[in-house]
Structures are given as C-alpha cells and as structure tokens.
Structure 1
Amino acid sequence: MSNLPAIKNLDGLIVGSDGLARPAWATEGMLQSYYDTEWGMPVRGEREMFERVSLEVFQSGLSWATILRKRDAFRDAFHDFDPDIVAKFTDADVERLKANTGIVRNVAKISATISNAIATVRLRDAGGLADFIWSFKPAATPTPEKFSDIPTSSKESTELSAALRARGFKFVGPTNMFALMEAVGIVDTHLVGSHRRGSSGVWVVESRNSVS
C-alpha cells in the first residue's frame, strides 16, 4: 500500500500512502505522529493534565505546530510541569522564562501557568485536577464527518471554563477547554472514518451511517 497516492480533501479525510485516513492537519511529520499516538488518548494523571492545560494556555492565538515544536523546551523550562515546583516560581523565574527563546515568551501566559500550578495544588482537596476536568465529560461525543462539523466549544467546556476560573485558573476559556477535552479523550472529535476514531476506548466507535 506504500504506492497509494494521498487523496486530498481538506475538510474531510486524507488517505495517505500508508492507506490510513487522517484529517488534513495531521498528515505530515510531528503532527501526524502526535495524531497517531497521543491526541485524543485519555490523560488521567495530575502532572500530565497540568501539562496539557499549560500547553493550551500557551497555544492561545498560535498554531498547535508551534507548541509541539517547543514542547521539549517547555518541559525543561517548567520542570516537566511538576505543579508543586511551578507553584513556587518567583519573579526571578519569570525573568528566566522571559529570556528563554525556546518557549513562548508571553508574560501573561507565563504568569497564568504559575497561577494555574497554585490552583492545581489547591484542587487536590477536591479530588485533583484530572478528576475535576473529567467530571465535565458529556453524555455523548460529536460524530463529525468533516472538519467543519467539529464544534469549537460546548456546554460542558463552557461549564468547565467557569468552574476552573472559580478555582483560580487563568486562560481557560470555553474554546481552550474544548480543545483540551479533545486532546485528553474527554470527547472524541476524530472524524468518522479516521483510523483513530474510537482509539481512546472512552467512546463506542460509530459507523459512517451513524446519526449524531
């Protein structure tokens, strides 16, 4: 199947030379690897969830490819996103991060990540960040046939945004939180027909004839 040509359909699926169907954004390089191995898979640990929230904060207004390219630098700069360490960052750490060309040097986002680490530590009294976010899992997931069918927010992401803000989190708007919910498996927005649809095990795989 290595000789199959890619079938281009920017709003739908692209069948690559490996015979696997993916959305247009996930057909090359690191984005394809991320799509095939990580995006949409369940995240249950506190540190892992804090990292995902933090990366969504930094991604706001930027492409996800930009964040992925800088991910290792982010992990190094934020001590592998250990919330206990980040919660204790000082003004000197902020200055250090502002000078770090490997990451996104946005002071508001850096400060928000520190605030979110503090809020993550406090949230342990309510069961922890991961369980808190998963508690907003909807009763059903979208079944998009094409990219334009995928919503950018939902009732649940709006509620999650409000709940996190009430707990002291920042840069956690409904759109960011829907993207987070997609990334960590809370909703499955893989296009119906994608080879990754249902791969998280959280949702039942639908056929192309399923009605959403």
Structure 2
Amino acid sequence: MKRCDWPSNELNIEYHDKEWGKPVYDDKILFEFLILEGMQAGLSWDIVLKRRETMRKAFDNFDPMILKDYDEDKVEQLMKNEGVIRHRLKLQALKINADCFLDVQKEYGSFSKYLWEFVDNNPIVNSIEKTEDLPVVSKEAETLSKSLRKRGFKFVGPTICYAYMQAMGLVNDHLNSCEFK
C-alpha cells in the first residue's frame, strides 16, 4: 500500500495506518493524545510511541479523574520510572491539564465538542504533495493554543496543537498519494 513517506519503522507505520489523521471524538482518546503530544515537546514522536504503553500504565490509563489528584509525591514516583518521559514540568502538567480538561468537559458537555469547534466540526483536508511541505502550524492551531493556554493548560503551544490536530484527525495531512488519506 502507498503511504506517506515519513513512517520509518513498524511502530510509526502502524500509528500512521491506524490512527494518524483519523477523526477522533472520544474524550478519553482526546485526553490521552493531549498528554502524549505535550510529552513529545522537544523529543521525537518515536520516543513517545515506544513509551506509550508504559505511560498509559504509569499515568493511570490517562484517566483525568485520577490525574487531577496527582501531587508532588506522585511526580517524584514518576521521576524514578525509566519507562516514562521524566521531565518534571511535563509530569506536573498531568494534574494541571486533567483539571483543565475536566473544566472544559463540564462547560461544553464534552471536550470533543469544544475541540471540534476550532475546525467548524469538519476535518481540514490539506492537499500535500511532499513531506517537506507539511505545515507545522496553522491559524486554527494558534487559536486552539491560545484558548487552551487561557484555560490554564500546559504544553499546548501552536506547534504542539497542530500535531495534536493532525493526530486526532481535525486536520488530514496525509500526502495526496497516500492510500490512507
């Protein structure tokens, strides 16, 4: 099958083929990826994918109702876990982002409803010929980032938000030649 040319190993080929760019409306998955994209900041996505299952276990299955109660003792415990991304500020952001996520859910009824409004409830399908033409940010990602930061979220800059929007299918950036588009 013809796919985008950026997947370079079995793990990111599977991610590309089964997840990347597919519209997601499930709050549980949306929260997990919001955390994963923040964890990726400054690192390669391969590192995140390799540690995803370990982080899922260590971060209580990305359950915001549990993460909202994380304290400094939990952060210290996670800092000793070699299977997670051990960045203190990112680990401290687990609680902050869980609190903010739950606030958005309460206000909108779901995080999905809030999130999809940034693309008028329809995925943006870009026409991209080559990987080097993939955008790293958009006006929608900048608007989302600004809104999330105003609500108190951490590790949600415009580039992270754009990657998040790609991952969750708000933006479809598969190459035109990709059969997964």
TM range (shorter): over 0.9
Q: CA RMSD in A?
A: 1.3
- Of 128, 134, 139, which residue of structure 1 is paired with 2:116? 134
What amino acid sits opposite 1:37 in the alignment?
K
Look at both structures and tell me which one has the larger radius of gyration over its CA atoms. Answer: 1
TM-score by structure 2 length?
Answer: 0.94
Cα offset, 1:27, TM superposition: 4.2
Structure 2 counterpart SS, 1:26 = coil
In the alignment, structure 1 segments of 5+ residues that lack a partner are: 1-19, 198-212
Q: Which residue of 1 aligns with 2:88?
A: 107
1:173 and 2:122 equivalent? Answer: no
TM-score (norm 1): 0.81
Whether 1:120 and 2:101 are equivalent positions in the alignment is yes
For residues 91 and 111 of structure 1, what CA distance do their matches in structure 2 show? Answer: 8
Any conservation in 2 of the 1:57–1:113 contact (CA below 8 Å)?
no
Who is 1:93 aligned against? 74
1:40, distance to aligned residue in structure 2 (A): 1.2
1:118-137 superposed Cα distances (whole Å, 9 cap, x missing partner): 10111122213222111111
Point out the structure with the larger helix share. 2
**Where has structure 1 moved over 4 Å in runs of 4 or more?**
none
Q: Distance in 2 between matches of 1:37 and 1:52?
A: 14
Which 5+ residue runs of structure 2 have no aligned equivalent?
Answer: none
Give the corresponding residue for 2:42.
61
Q: Percent identity?
A: 37
Which residues in structure 2 correspond to 1:1-212 (within 5 Å)?
20-127=1-108, 128-137=110-119, 140-197=124-181
